A and B are shown apart, each in its own frame.
Chain A
């Protein structure tokens, strides 16, 4: 194999590691990049190099940005007294897509997991408690996944914040659980129906 062919094979092997791509689709993507060298490949390479150089975690919330404090944390229009706790940056981006939340975020970086032996010390929970204590936060919204690990983490955080909640310094809330938009009851699992029924509201 020539040196050039080896480099292309290396690129294909790297691309195949990306989520959603296998060896065949990586090969197609690399071929497309080579064919569109000026329009796609070079800008992509430059953009990748720049992001690799600049991307960092926000020191305040754990979001990914290019500054020490992310755009959300430094936005003066956002409510200071409201923190939405999410598991991962992908969840933060999902919340932002909805444009329904105008407060700040806190990214935990995972959830407690018995299976993977992830404990509270592996997450950004102490930093959250510090923020709530120091920043005069009025409400913490636990927007964690409706999974066993997600809800175990939510209960743990609620326990950590309980002394402040009992003292009336902060309110702890969580996202509602129930029927998704466009969901048909016939196709829902019994756990979701149970959660929706117990969280029913006046109509």
Chain B
């Protein structure tokens, strides 16, 4: 069995004294795990940082074996991000969340393309807008998409201000009534309106965080969300 594809490195764990176990996310193969011989060497250390874009070849005798990777690094993303704490936290959060949420060996080409675009845009203007929208895309890809097209109670598509924490459907401001304090605020930038500020990003991450923690995570064995995401949120909160 053999395939070749370009992908992004999500995680690298040392395996024994000389090898490493890599998690690589590719468009065609999805999240794939395999052994890299010599992956614990000093020569490979710079390339085996999360976010590195790689050309990977995977080989195994049988398809259900873990298999062995050979890699050629194409683009480092960790080094440029290291100087900026938010950018580094974003890189960590993207890779950790993909590693946490994606099932092994299931292709998600649309999410792959979106993840690469996000990783390449880390640190650019409005990258946090893109990050929150990417978390919504992760939820949608895995079957927990939010419906922000119209109000769940009245059907109107204007002045949507909340999201039901149970159904993930939008609720208009007027329709929320006495339930408003039990609903999750919906920042306007997620409806494509206006530029987002820090408060909008915090509200957006609270919204996606709720569905990641209470809807997606239980379906994956109720593991806690990766601490890398919590650190990104914490860093954003501290910026105030």
Grouping DSSP codes into helix (H, G, I), strand (E, B) and loop, the A interface class, with mixed when no group exceeds half, is helix
A residues near B96, Cβ cutoff 8 Å: 114-115
User: In chain A, what residue has the closest Cβ to B229?
Assistant: A114
Q: Find out whether the CB atom of B11 lies under 8 angstroms from the CB atom of A195.
A: no
Q: Find out whether the CB atom of A117 lies under 8 angstroms from the CB atom of B227.
A: yes
Which of these, B45, B73, B83, B228, contacts A198 with CB under 8 Å? B83
User: In chain B, what residue has the closest Cβ to A158?
Assistant: B85
Interface residues of A in 146-194 (CB under 8 A from B): 146-148, 151-152, 155-156, 158-159, 177, 189-192, 194
User: In chain A, what residue has the closest Cβ to B76?
Assistant: A191
Q: Find out whether the CB atom of A148 lies under 8 angstroms from the CB atom of B91.
A: yes
Interface residues of B in 34-61 (CB under 8 A from A): 45-47, 49-51
B residues near A151, Cβ cutoff 8 Å: 82, 88
Number of interface residues of B (CB under 8 A): 31
User: In chain B, what residue has the closest Cβ to A192?
Assistant: B46
Cβ of B17 < 8 Å from any Cβ of A?
A: yes
Interface residues of A in 128-151 (CB under 8 A from B): 146-148, 151
B residues near A155, Cβ cutoff 8 Å: 85, 88-89
Q: Find out whether the CB atom of B226 lies under 8 angstroms from the CB atom of A195.
A: no
A residues near B45, Cβ cutoff 8 Å: 147
Cβ of A19 < 8 Å from any Cβ of B?
A: yes
A residues near B228, Cβ cutoff 8 Å: 114
Number of interface residues of A (CB under 8 A): 24
Q: Find out whether the CB atom of A190 lies under 8 angstroms from the CB atom of B79.
A: yes
Q: Find out whether the CB atom of A148 lies under 8 angstroms from the CB atom of B78.
A: yes
Which of these, A115, A119, A159, A190, contacts B85 with CB under 8 Å? A159
Cβ of A76 < 8 Å from any Cβ of B?
A: no
Q: What is the 8 Å Cβ interface bit string for chain B, positions 207-240, against chain A (1 contact, 0 not)?
A: 0000000000000000000111001000100100
Q: Find out whether the CB atom of A191 lies under 8 angstroms from the CB atom of B235.
A: no
Q: Find out whether the CB atom of B47 lies under 8 angstroms from the CB atom of A189.
A: yes
A residues near B79, Cβ cutoff 8 Å: 189-192, 194-195
User: In chain A, what residue has the closest Cβ to B49?
Assistant: A148
Give the shortest distance, in Å, between A149 (CB) and chain B (any CB). Answer: 9
Q: What is the 8 Å Cβ interface bit string for chain B, positions 92-105, against chain A (1 contact, 0 not)?
A: 10011001000000
- What are some 7 contacts across the A-B interface (CB < 8 A)? A115-B96, A147-B78, A148-B49, A151-B88, A152-B88, A152-B231, A190-B76
B residues whose Cβ falls under 8 Å from a Cβ of A: 11, 13, 17, 45-47, 49-51, 73, 75-76, 78-80, 82-83, 85, 88-89, 91-92, 95-96, 99, 226-228, 231, 235, 238
A residues whose Cβ falls under 8 Å from a Cβ of B: 19-20, 112, 114-115, 117, 119, 146-148, 151-152, 155-156, 158-159, 177, 189-192, 194-195, 198
